[in-house]
Amino acid sequence: MLDQTKHQEALAKANAYIKEHANEVNKRFYPNFHLAAPYGWINDPNGFCYALGKYHIFYQFYPYDSKWGPMHWGHATSTDLIHWEHQEVALAPSEDFDISGCFSGSAIEHDGKLYIMYTGHHVFVEAGDDSIFREVQVLAVSEDGIHFKKIGPVIEPEEGIIHFRDPKVWKDDTGLFHMIFGVCNLQNAGEIRHYTSKDLLNWDFVSIIKEMEDNAFMYECPDFFEVNDNKWILATSPMGQAPQGYNRQNPSVNSWQSGSFDGKSFTPDTKLYEVDHGHDFYATQSTGTPDGRRIVLAWMNMWKLPFLNYPEHWCGALTLPREISFKDGHIYQKPVREVESLRLAKTEYSDADCTLKSTIKAISNNSATELNFSFKPSDNDAEQYGIAIGNSIRLYVDRQTKTLTLFRLDLNATSYRALPISWDEEHKLQIFIDNSSIEVFIDDGHDAMTTNFFGTDHSISIYATNGQASFKGLTVYDLERPLFNAPLFK
């Protein structure tokens, strides 16, 4: 085991800084029921697992500022996936192999301990220029699930390989550990490598389960799990793929595909496709639950976009946990059923009350709201109809493009994402609005759209422009706000 002194010092410094500064966070955009850091910057969810009797979520974390910096691992625990308790920082950069950051990875319980496998990142050039760096997969361990000791690097790249990161570890029924991670190979092509181990320390290379598709030069944050009998899902965030029609418009894209896996090769049914069609969804990570569900979370932000909350001392949040299923050849994701425990007051509208003709109707003014309704495009003749949130968001069915469109109107971040929808079928929407984010689930999770916005006007209206539209069965819930003031670790 490594000498832990430097790591313990780095953790103590980060924990003390958070305690001292958490009350400086400006909460005008801070989430009510999505997990964000008590202070500082979040990106990818890491180490999502059920271990030692609880759910654990870790996240890429810079505790000293609301922008990306040398990555730590923040940590929270929960018994229901909804009410999270902040925990002490789990990992901090401290050693030569991770001095520039403890990058993304995963966690797994083994022999009554919680193990983390993460990427140690070491930049060899000036701060801010990360063109030459070295990445290795590193093992750390905790007896109590809170305090981690670094064991050290367990897989190192061959000479000349730079991008080599984001290990996801799982155990099969025989007790064998598997690991996959993303690599940019010596031909500058993206690949996902697969290794196995009996003890988490000694790893053997097995195969490449994914090669370059559509010019992806690197696959960030790969995840791989079985959903039905020998139906596997590969989830990843490929870098370098060009936009295509309504797809892949985000600066960084998260895409999934299903297929079969024989322990060595993955044979996909389809190409990679986006499972969330909004602006802010990246770097997904999943876990199995004790009752056999597969749950995924994503970073609810995006690289290279203006983060308008920089001066607020926090930036970034995780999506709601979503349950994954696979039906009729398609990947579904819907909010976990535990989300229903957030519901407080309920308002139900009669059909007459929610059929609008060229008008707008206020329905809520609450920054923590769930909306449910359905609509059938061919029954409505409005040119555009949907939901308005202040001057920030329009979510609407558009007669001209035959899409469900999510339009963020805020300055510096104005843009839309659109999802083509069938016109003769009824569609169902479940929408979560949380202060500065909207998550939309379409047709029981057949599709989703997730977007942040930056307005403080939380008035929510339904509207129909130039014609009539029915928002059938419109139900509005006020939601609990458990994470707005979640207590700090002791």
Residues engaged in binding ligand FRU (CB under 6 A): 43-44, 60, 71, 103-104, 119, 165-166, 220-221, 282-283
Question: Residue 276 and residue 143: Cα distance in Å, rounded?
Answer: 37
Nearest residue to 417 (alpha-carbon basis) of 278, 245, 311, 255: 278
Contact 323, 339 (CB under 8 A): no
434 is catalytic: no
Q: Which residues contact 229 (CB under 8 A, 6 or more apart)?
A: none
Of 32 and 104, nearer to ligand FRU (C-beta) is: 104
Minimum CB distance to ligand FRU, residue 103 (Å): 3
Distance CA 229, CA 233 (A): 12
Give the β-pairing of 266-268 and 255-261.
antiparallel
What is the DSSP code string of 443-485? TTTTEEEEEE---S---EEEEEEEEEEE-EEEEEEEE--TTTT
Q: Is the dihedral of CA 23, 28, 34, 39 positive or negative?
A: negative
Containing 379, the helix (H) or strand (E) segment is none
Nearest one of 337, 373, 380, 339 to 473, comparing CA atoms = 373
Residue closer to ligand FRU by CB (options 121, 417) is 121
Smaller CB distance to ligand FRU: residue 60 or 384? 60
- 44, 166, 280, 410: which one is catalytic? 44
CB of 190 to ligand FRU, least distance (A): 12
State which residue, 74 or 445, has the beta carbon closest to ligand FRU: 74
- Would you state the torsion angle of the CA atoms of residues 61, 66, 68, 71, taken in this order, to the nearest 10 degrees? -20
Q: How far is the CB of 221 from ligand FRU (least distance, A)?
A: 6
CB 374 → ligand FRU: shortest distance, Å?
35
Q: Which is nearer to ligand FRU, 102 or 464 (CB)?
A: 102
Residue 484: closest CA among 23, 34, 19, 20: 34
Q: Which residues have C-beta within 8 Å of that of residue 71, sequence separation ≥ 6?
A: 43, 60, 61, 62, 93, 101, 102, 103, 121
**Residue 153 burial class via C-beta count within 10 angstroms: exposed 0-12, middle 13-18, buried 19 and up:** middle
Closest approach of Cβ 251 to ligand FRU, in Å? Answer: 11
Q: Is the dihedral of CA 440, 442, 444, 446 positive or negative?
A: negative
Of 302 and 431, nearer to ligand FRU (C-beta) is 302
Name every residue whose Cβ is closer than 8 Å to that of residue 111 and which is 6 or more positions away in sequence: none
Which lies closer to ligand FRU via its Cβ, residue 98 or residue 410?
A: 98
Environment class of 214 (CB within 10 Å of its CB; exposed 0-12, middle 13-18, buried 19+): middle
Please identify, using beta-carbon distances, which residue of 104 and 470 lies nearer to ligand FRU: 104
Supply 462's token pair.
């339904």
Considering the complex, what minimum distance in angstroms separates the CB of residue 105 from ligand FRU? 8
Q: How far apart are CA 405 and CA 399, in angstroms?
A: 11
| 234, amino acid identity | L
> Can you spell out the DSSP letters for 387-423?
EEETTTEEEEEETTTTEEEEEE--TTS-EEEEEE--S
The span from the CA of 488 to the CA of 435, in Å, is 21
CB of 242 to ligand FRU, least distance (A): 19
For ligand FRU, the closer of residues 221 and 393 by Cβ is 221
* Least gap, CB of 438 to ligand FRU (angstroms): 21
Residue 43 CB, shortest distance to ligand FRU, in Å, is 5
Residue 456 tokens read as 């403080």
Residues annotated as catalytic (active site), given as ranges: 44
